[in-house]
Structure 1
Amino acid sequence: MDLKLLCKRLNEYAHTGIACDWDNVGLLTEPSEPLIVKKMLLTNDLTEPVLEEALKKEVNMIVSYHPAIFRPLKRLTQADWKERSIVKCIEQRIAVYSPHTSWDSIDGGINDWILEAFETKKIESVESISSLNHPSGFSKNVKINLPSDTNKDILLKKLNVNDNIRLVSEKNLGQEVEVEFLTSPKGVTSLMESIRSVYQSQDNIFDSLRIINMEKPFMKNVGLGRLGYLAQPLKIRDVVDKLKDLFKMKTFRLALANGKTLDSEVKVLAVGAGSASKLLNNVNADLIITGEFAHHEILHETHRGVSLIVTDHSNTERGYRECFKRKFTDLLKKYNENVEILISEVDRDPLEYI
């Protein structure tokens, strides 16, 4: 499958435009010549052991959830493991792609996958994300009062052929008509030029002009973090058991809120895969599920009655690879496209419990 087309499908699955501003997502390394991808390797982190695995399995592309290039690189040498990895990918014509926070935010992404372990009656984003585009395709609302004469009709006829401007309404004000338009930023300039050309002799024609920036609506079920409202209350010990099954972990850390026990009831779960100290701080929930949470923030949460499950960073993320493989394969089938998707067998969280 052509690399550019595959990247297009990956972006269709999770648009990079919804990733956090600080993130570095999308295609990170691209061979100089066109690349046909036959095998794709999924990993949470592109470590040197994962890269060796990729070379042995002769993959053409690595989809690494965490960006292999995050902080700017000033050089590419053999002195640093990240630099060595990028150099080898380039030498071996292996494309590297990272979705990171776009997978966190999409409907059906990592946080939703975690909540699939529970029966919920409602799920909300902790931080919603605005639509990438305005639903109408226009970002400006323009209103202006024009004299009720033939010039108005000349103007509207002239604007009727401009795709960047749409007439919304005309409101009769007696000797004037309030005319409302939807436009693109480019359309505002065209609109003003057209008004100026029709009303050349009226210096005050723009006195009543009002331009309003239209806010983009929030996307449904898209955003950072999730609040899961349980259909029936669960005991904390039941939540623990379900997450051990989901994450395939025998142990993880639990911080019980002051006065709570393993038999205390949970009605609302707050989920933030990876690191969520800032995202879930002061969230309105009974139990927080995350990979990392700062010490003092844990104390703060437990003192306000919120318990926490902390699994270590990537243990909340790694299991999503299977979910992505299934969903992305279905997406490709819609287009009669196919690529072999492998899941790394050596990718793991660097921390272990002994």
Structure 2
Amino acid sequence: MTATVAMAAEVGPGVWFGPEMAGRGDWIVEVTTEQIMAFESAIEILRHAGKELQETDFSEVPKFPEFQRAAEEVLTGRGFILLRGLPVERWDRETTAWVYWMLGLYFGNPVPQNGDGHLLGHVKNLGKDYRDPAVRIYQTNYRQPFHTDSCDIVGLLCLRPAKQGGESRIVSSSTLHNEMLARRPDLLNVLYEPFVLDRKNEVPEGKGPYYEIPVFHRYGDRITGFYARDFIEAAQQRFPEIPRLTNRQIEALDYLDSLANDPSLYLAMDFQPGDVQLLHNHQILHARAAYEDWSEVERRRHLLRLWLSTPNGRPLPPVFCERYGTVTPGEIRGGIRVPGVIPQVILDV
């Protein structure tokens, strides 16, 4: 029988409701011509000096208070922001990646996103089978359920949207926590207990093929979320030695999913080319609708992704070490590192 966890509702700007957010515009930051020109000039100087994109650090990034405020909002406010207006259609891929990298450095340090060590990820349909438990769904056009990523902040830059579908949805994990506390505290209690997650063959040195972590954590004065149901279900399919999910656990996960997919809670947004969405994984879950792509390869949906480790990020409970590597303040945490793989920037896949 699951022990009762002492719980209280989360308060503050991280608790929000989608329809109310949809009526506001303060979470959209328009990138100005002045800022674009400053980034372009900085890149020309770096290229002339023979510097590589992934060698760029924050000291070489043009400084604008708007982006610094955006980073503070993501970390300590509502937990997300949308930067709009990068001219990706006139830039070559390297320039686009370089500007995106520089913007990302306002929020944190890039960490590898997969077993190939990619610091710049490519979210596109690679024709893989979403039913394969070892496949990560971002490599397909199948709907991606609400989840968090294994980093402090995730960024998505839209190069090209889909022909149809692919809508992004985000929801506050603090709001989900509060709603479960008010409606079904018995099921919320279940989510404070560990679940087994599959590493999907991306295994760090000295670790096993799966790990355990709860969905919700009260640590310090904050509620922190960590959720990836497809990784929980993949572990159930691939590892017969782990305990089977109980009916109570399944009910709790189902209830969490039903709340996350409630239009009265989530915020939907359609990406335009040049949009950059930045999310604080510890307080935001994100999802993507299924999509239909264009037949022409050059027109197909393509997002660039950054996983970022924030030096001044919120304290995390020790159990996060199993996935994040470390929770020591100031150290690089999160990402996926496997033996023998050197982190790298790939401009396309």
Question: What band does the TM-score fall into relative to the shorter chain?
Answer: under 0.3
Q: Identify, as 1 or 2, the structure richer in strand.
A: 1
**Structure 1 length as normaliser, TM-score?**
0.23
**Structure 2 length as normaliser, TM-score?**
0.23
Higher relative contact order structure (alpha carbons within 8 Å, sequence separation ≥ 6): 2
Question: Highest CA radius of gyration, 1 or 2?
Answer: 1
